[in-house]
Amino acid sequence: MTTEQDYYATHEALRLAAKRTGAKLRKVSLYEQIHGISEDHIVERIVGAVTPATRVVALTWVHSSTGLKLPLRRIADALEEINAVREDGARVLLCVDGVHGFGIEDVTLSDLGCDFLMAGCHKWVFGPRGTGVVAGTPRGWAAVLPTIPSFIDSDSWKAWATGTELEGPSTAARMTPGGYKAFEHLWALSNAFEFHQTIGKSRVAERTHELVRHLMGGLNTMKHVTVHTPRSDRLSAGIVSFDIAGLSPGTVVNRLRERYIIGSVAPYAVPHVRLTPSIVNTPEEIETVLREIRAIES
């Protein structure tokens, strides 16, 4: 089960997995109108759609279309109440695309409560392209099997050398694929993590949300702008999504780039303009962005 508001990669990965395995895929809508959305509403929509046949709930932590951040801890706790009365093999796994929260929020995997968190590291962590992480819980790893041989799991090598079957549940090492990689990218990634740890996760989160509040506060005063991202820190992270009356998102992005401001268009059926304040930005830059958006008219 996933939501209608999730991203192409999630939808297609699940569709292909269902086609390959015979599983059934369902999509539920999180909302009809995002304005006025609440944590209670999101949790009720997701948990209310779980059926006795549901084995996986796949969600996106922060939506790249609207900037909506899901209350993962509350969703995980509600799913755990369902799992408490189920047999081990029938329990629901919570799998999360976390790329737009990873490197922003001051939380750990256990804080979120999901079984798997997957994230690329080239966005908010500022690592090289082609790098990412898959973090899982023991329950999560035990429920899956690798499809690509690992080069770092000694038990896998031993089983191959002796012609025996691997024993015990899957582990992170068994799920780490071997083969040739862009190792210079992997080696550089440690510097990206060290950069964040040196600053401190709490300071990164505080600064990012401060800049986002600054940007959204200014945009919400403009009559020709419609902001789609919830203003609450609990329901947003680093993406600010909006439209300008009378102009397509692509036109707005092009006009901003003429002013040396980098934005993007959300790659969805209903596109919006996106700006993404981060720790590399300053309040003065946010003011510059707001001044230029005030000057854009259809």
**235-292: per-residue pLDDT in tens?**
999 999 999 999 999 999 999 999 999 999 988 989 999 999 999 999 999 999 999 9
Residue 112: which pLDDT band, with cuts at 50, 70 and 90? very high
pLDDT, position 257: 97
- pLDDT at position 181 is 81
Per DSSP, the three-state class of 3 is strand
Q: What is the pLDDT of residues 12-25, one digit of tens each?
A: 999 999 999 999 99
What is the mean predicted confidence (pLDDT) over 28-56? 96
Q: 186 falls in which pLDDT band (50, 70, 90)? A: confident
DSSP string, 152-183: S-HHHHHHHHHT----S---TTTTSB-S---H
Determine the pLDDT at residue 178: 86
User: What is the C-alpha separation between 183 and 94, in angstroms, rounded?
Assistant: 30
238 DSSP 8-state letter: S
Q: What pLDDT, on a 0 to 100 scale, did the predictor assign at position 45?
A: 96
Rounded-to-integer distance, Cα 211 and Cα 53, Å: 43
What mean pLDDT, rounded, does the chain reach? Answer: 95
The SS3 of residue 116 is strand
Q: Which pLDDT score is estimated for 211?
A: 98
Q: Which domains does the chain have, with CATH numbers?
A: 2-197 (3.40.640.10), 201-295 (3.90.1150.10)
Q: Average of pLDDT values for 103-122?
A: 96
Q: In DSSP terms, which residues pair with 236 in a beta bridge?
A: 68
- What integer pLDDT is reported at residue 183 of this predicted model? 85
**What would the mean pLDDT of 89-102 be, rounded to a whole number?**
96
Q: What percentage of residues in the chain have a pLDDT greater than 70? A: 100
Say if strands 27-28 and 2-3 run parallel, antiparallel, or are unpaired: parallel
Mean pLDDT of 62-90: 96
Q: Tell me the mean pLDDT in the region 155-161.
A: 93
Residue 59 has what pLDDT? 98
What pLDDT score was predicted for residue 179?
Answer: 83
